[in-house]
Chain A
Amino acid sequence: MDVMNNKILDRLKTKFADIISDATEFRGELTVVLPKERIVEVCRFLKEDDELRFNLLADLCGIDMYTPTRRFGIIYNLYSFTNKFRVRLKTFTEADHPKVPTVTGIWGTANWHERETFDMFGIIFEGHPDLRRMYMPDEFEYYPLRKDFPLMGIRGSLELPKK
C-alpha cells in the first residue's frame, strides 16, 4: 500500500477501528467503507485532524448497486489542500426509505451535492437545510438514475406545452 494511504488508514484505525468494514486500494486510491450512522463523525475527524486536514469535499455522489440489500451507496471523495492527497469514503443504505445523515455542517459545499443525489436517487439526507430537487421539476415523481428507471423516461412523467 502507498505510504500516504497507510498513514490515513492508521489514523482512522486509532479512533474508528471497529467500524471500518472494508478498506481497499485500487490504482493508488484508498476507499474506506463505513456504516452510515457514524459517517458524520468520521468526516469531521478527517477534516479537523491536524495531520490529515481533508478540507475539500471534492465530490459527493450516489450509486445504485442494484443488489437486494445495501442497494444505494453514497460516496464521498475528499481532498486535502495541505497534503495534496485524496481519499474516498463509502457508505451504504437500504432500498426502501434510504436515509443518511447530512454532512452540510462540515462542508458547506455538500448542500448542492446532496440535493443532486436526492434528485437522482431519492436518498433522503437527514438534517439537510433545504432538500428539494435539483435538476428535475419539483413535481417529477421518479428518481432518474436508479437502475429500474428507463433511459428514455416514462411517458407522461413530464409535460410539454401544447402546439
Chain B
Amino acid sequence: MGLESWMGDGYIATKIEDVLNWCRKNSLYPSPMGISCCAIEMMAAAGPRFDIARFGSEVMRFTPRQCDVMIVAGTTTFKMAKVVRKIYDQMPEPKWVIAMGACTSSGGMYRTYSVVQGIDQFLPVDVYVAGCPPRPDNLLHALMLLQEKVQRGESKGMAPAFIGDFHGSRGSNSVSK
C-alpha cells in the first residue's frame, strides 16, 4: 500500500498494538487469589481508602475467564498450588501474574515441609511485591509497574519487575507513555 511504503513497514500495525496495549493497561481486571493475610491487604486496596478502581481494576472477578491479571496473595502450599495452577490455566491470554507478599515471592517466613518456596516454581511471575504483608500502596505501585509492562507489550514472565528497586535502575516510573 502506498501509505505503508511512505510511513515504513508495519507502522499501522504497531500503532494499533500501542492503542490496544493502552486499553489493556487501563482496564486490568484482577483475579484475586486471596489465600491468607495478604488477602486482607488486597481487600483494603480495593476498599475506600486505597481505591484500586481508579486504576481501572473496577471489579475483582472471581471467575478466571474474565480476568487479565492474577494477584496471588498469601502463602501457597503444595496442596493449594494445584488449584492456583488450574485457575491460571483457565485465564485467557494475555495474562499476567502479580506475586504479592513475601510468601509468594520466596516462601516468606515459612521454610517448612508444606509451603512452596515461591510461586515462580510453577507460574511465570511478572511483578514481585515485597512485604509481609505489603501495604496497599505497595500493591498499587505493583499495579502501576505492571501497567508499564503491559504498555510495552510484555507478558508471560518476561523481565519481571521488583518493587523496592531504586528509582531509575529499572527504567522510568511514569505510568503513561
Nearest CB in chain A: distance from B76 CB, A = 10
Nearest CB in chain B: distance from A106 CB, A = 31
Chain B binder among A6-14, A70-78, A84-92, A153-161: A153-161
Within 8 A of A (CB), among B70-124: 78-79, 81-82, 85, 111-114, 116, 121-124
State the CA gap A144–B79 with chains docked (Å): 15
Encoded as 1 (CB less than 8 Å from any B CB) or 0, chain A from 137 to 162 comes to: 10000001000011111100111111
Contact of B85 among A149, A157, A161 (CB under 8 A): A161
Structural contact, A152 and B112, CB atoms closer than 8 A = yes
Total B residues in contact with A, Cβ cutoff 8 Å: 14
A163 CB–B CB distance under 8 Å = yes
- Which residues on the B side are within 8 Å of A153 (C-beta)? 112-114
State the CA gap A151–B112 with chains docked (Å): 5
Contact of B113 among A137, A152, A159, A161 (CB under 8 A): A152
Nearest CB in chain A: distance from B61 CB, A = 23
- Which residues on the A side are within 8 Å of B121 (C-beta)? 160, 163
- Which residues on the B side are within 8 Å of A151 (C-beta)? 111-113
Structural contact, A160 and B113, CB atoms closer than 8 A = no
Structural contact, A161 and B82, CB atoms closer than 8 A = yes
Q: Which residue of A lies closest to B116 (CB)?
A: A160
Contact of A161 among B81, B112, B114, B124 (CB under 8 A): B81
State the CA gap A137–B39 with chains docked (Å): 24
Structural contact, A149 and B122, CB atoms closer than 8 A = no
Interface range on chain A: under 10, 10 to 19, 20 to 34, or 35 or more? 10 to 19
Q: Which residue of A lies closest to B121 (CB)?
A: A160
Structural contact, B113 and A162, CB atoms closer than 8 A = no
Contact of B124 among A144, A154, A163 (CB under 8 A): A163
Nearest CB in chain B: distance from A150 CB, A = 7
State the CA gap A40–B146 with chains docked (Å): 60
Structural contact, B111 and A161, CB atoms closer than 8 A = no
Structural contact, B123 and A163, CB atoms closer than 8 A = yes
State the CA gap A160–B124 with chains docked (Å): 14
Q: Which residue of A lies closest to B113 (CB)?
A: A153
- Which residues on the B side are within 8 Å of A154 (C-beta)? 113
A136 CB–B CB distance under 8 Å = yes
Nearest CB in chain B: distance from A139 CB, A = 11
- Which residues on the A side are within 8 Å of B122 (C-beta)? 160-163
Q: Which residue of B lies closest to A144 (CB)?
A: B113
Chain A residues within CB distance 8 Å of chain B: 135-137, 144, 149-154, 157-163
What are some 10 contacts across the A-B interface (CB < 8 A)? A136-B79, A144-B113, A152-B112, A159-B82, A160-B121, A160-B122, A161-B82, A161-B85, A161-B122, A163-B124
